[in-house]
Structure 1
């Protein structure tokens, strides 16, 4: 009976993972060189952690968040913070009707305290009052307003900034954002793809809503992640933290402990009940094992970004090729699609010698060559 219950629970995790991965795949369709952002937002939503995106202005830091929020569903809140931003612009105004009755109450409808996914641009420019209130929302998922402390449904908050703050007074606040993604301008090899996507309805925010089961799937996976078996990866994770500290990367005890949540989230996103370890190298972002031959299929772009492994790159290119084949068919006739196909072909040839291609990637390369020559 116990084995049957465990199998049913594992089946529920796999179904939830399938729904969430479907939403993630739909969001990645509208992204160019920002797929890692969508993957890490999803990972953090499952882990119950928050993400800091760091990059120069104009690098589309918010795009991945908007697209994955559309696909996961739920209430979304976005705000650009500045030095003169008032708390009521984020948390809601005082209810004047209640104030006439002598009761101070905040009207939170449509504001951050009722959001399930949030994006705060220039997050470190907010006032001390804003940051102090945000700490309760980020850390404890509560909105403190006088004697009442209502729970907040926030799954993940994404903060954006041009750089990581050096001010010691901001260090504790920045530490609440466990995951970090650094973005640069889109690589030259993908400029044609960027120009094409930038002229589509997706770029203007007209995104088709994802599966209604996706946000419920996030909650189901979050529940599974809390009981995920991580004993086999703790030694490797501790070694990674030591190496980062030795390299001068500040990792607080809190960040080190909470990073286990990302490992658990990556495992359940793949439909597994535990992290991989047993003496094999595993890293937080990718769950990469055996020198890169195995990995987290749900986070293929993050796997490539953080492992720098050829196997991860091959998986990502194969997935891109399959998507193109599904979208354009085996014999694409639309000449406007040719730059997209050529970009992927150039990336394959730049990264791999032809004899080193596996069967799937070799077949995708052959299709791309035939398509661009048609």
Structure 2
């Protein structure tokens, strides 16, 4: 795995720390940043959408812009006010310092509540990475914009705008099985993982360049098969979404440290299905194509969208490694023992030990040793 992929994998691990059932959001933000695409997160209020994005943005570094849109949000609140000095000279230009046009990572909450003026200007930034308003013409350094909303819009005009967000992640309340973990983390809310030394944007940009040069020839036929299956299953996919899905496949390969994409990377395709039901259908119709999928950097997302044994094993190895790092070398407390036992139960429930991947077998041995020490 390349040094840049390792750096981003470590950043993703830090971003996931303290997130409960929102690890997928953090990972897909990075996937989209490498792919040069945008992400839409849909979920009810209070489901930690913004927290997951902020933690990931903290780790990526660079200039960050966040705003909660409303019906009466003025374009100047997003793109910057008129430059009064230039206006006195007869030129309508805008001061964009600290605003969205100069951001490298952006988060727009309640994105569909923006006015027509806001959304029309935003389209140029999302599509072309260019800000045009008055006499101002600015090339935008935006790597990824994350939009969030409580639900998908019914208005066809807004649906067309939503189509500019290639990837979709739908979040619901934390399941009962993880409520104890949520309560523990929530009690210590406010503590975030330490920021990395300097911005990781150079590493991210190098991975983006590697993704653009990724060899897709070996997997393009499988992608064609997958897209046809999705359309036959009633998943609405425009030609634009089908073509741009290749960027997610290439980014997944780059984050896994490879220069050529394989069937292991097709787990990203359900992300482009536009609705929750469509994503469920996509997982089902692509199950045989992505059964062996995995990703060393995006372990939770690969498991969520592939639902395969390899991806699940990768996630359990990662979870075990993180747990052992947290436990250290001292004696286990009662709560620590319960956490180790829970991980062991999940391993044993999902795998026949003799058939489990070697890395998972080794992790199980380490966890048993931790219990017995």
- Residue among 35, 38, 55 paired with 2:23: 35
Looking at structure 1, the residues matched to 331 and 26 of structure 2 have their Cα atoms a distance apart, in angstroms, of 28
**Structure 2 regions of 5+ residues with no counterpart?**
271-285
Q: Quote the offset at 1:95 in angstroms.
A: 2.7
2:71 maps to 1:95: no
Aligned equivalent of 2:129: 141
Structure-2 change in CA distance of 1:139 and 1:49 (3 Å): same
8 Å contact 1:121–1:160 — kept in the other structure?
yes
Aligned equivalent of 1:6: none
- Residue among 229, 241, 244 paired with 1:243: 229
- Residue among 145, 164, 169 paired with 1:157: 145
Q: Deviations over 1:77-99 (max 9, x none)?
A: 11111111111111112233333
**Structure 1 regions of 5+ residues with no counterpart?**
1-12
Structure-2 change in CA distance of 1:24 and 1:142 (3 Å): same
Looking at structure 2, the residues matched to 154 and 273 of structure 1 have their Cα atoms a distance apart, in angstroms, of 24
Aligned equivalent of 1:258: 244
Q: Deviations over 1:125-160 (max 9, x none)?
A: 111111100000000001112233110110000001
Q: Deviations over 1:90-128 (max 9, x none)?
A: 111223333334332222121111111111111111111
Q: Quote the offset at 1:249 in angstroms.
A: 1.5
2:180 maps to 1:192: yes
Aligned equivalent of 1:45: 33
Q: Deviations over 1:170-227 (max 9, x none)?
A: 1221110001111111122222222222233xx4264411243521111111112112
Q: Quote the offset at 1:53 in angstroms.
A: 0.6
Aligned equivalent of 2:283: none
Looking at structure 2, the residues matched to 111 and 85 of structure 1 have their Cα atoms a distance apart, in angstroms, of 14
Q: Quote the offset at 1:316 in angstroms.
A: 0.4
Q: Secondary structure at the match of 1:204?
A: coil
8 Å contact 1:288–1:303 — kept in the other structure?
no
Q: Secondary structure at the match of 1:298?
A: coil
Aligned equivalent of 2:13: 25
Structure-2 change in CA distance of 1:363 and 1:81 (3 Å): same
Aligned equivalent of 1:275: 261
TM-score by length of 1: 0.87
Structure-2 change in CA distance of 1:331 and 1:187 (3 Å): farther
Structure-2 change in CA distance of 1:338 and 1:30 (3 Å): same
Looking at structure 2, the residues matched to 263 and 288 of structure 1 have their Cα atoms a distance apart, in angstroms, of 16
Q: 1:1-374 maps to which residues of 2 (within 5 A)?
A: 14-200=2-188, 203-204=189-190, 206-212=192-198, 214-277=200-263, 282-284=266-268, 292-293=291-292, 295-353=294-352, 356-365=355-364, 368=367
Q: Secondary structure at the match of 2:49?
A: coil
Looking at structure 1, the residues matched to 195 and 246 of structure 2 have their Cα atoms a distance apart, in angstroms, of 31
Q: How many residues align?
A: 358
TM-score by length of 2: 0.87
Q: Secondary structure at the match of 2:168?
A: strand
Structure-2 change in CA distance of 1:309 and 1:141 (3 Å): same
Q: Deviations over 1:218-252 (max 9, x none)?
A: 11111121121111111111111112112221100
| Cα root mean square deviation, aligned | 2.6
Aligned equivalent of 2:274: none
Looking at structure 2, the residues matched to 362 and 220 of structure 1 have their Cα atoms a distance apart, in angstroms, of 34
8 Å contact 1:331–1:371 — kept in the other structure?
no
Q: Quote the offset at 1:289 in angstroms.
A: 9.4
Looking at structure 1, the residues matched to 290 and 112 of structure 2 have their Cα atoms a distance apart, in angstroms, of 38
8 Å contact 2:293–2:302 — kept in the other structure?
no
Q: Secondary structure at the match of 2:138?
A: coil
Q: Quote the offset at 1:63 in angstroms.
A: 1.6
Q: Quote the offset at 1:353 in angstroms.
A: 4.9
Looking at structure 1, the residues matched to 295 and 33 of structure 2 have their Cα atoms a distance apart, in angstroms, of 16
Q: Quote the offset at 1:354 in angstroms.
A: 5.3
Looking at structure 1, the residues matched to 224 and 101 of structure 2 have their Cα atoms a distance apart, in angstroms, of 35
Looking at structure 2, the residues matched to 57 and 339 of structure 1 have their Cα atoms a distance apart, in angstroms, of 31
8 Å contact 1:293–1:311 — kept in the other structure?
yes
Q: Secondary structure at the match of 1:164?
A: coil
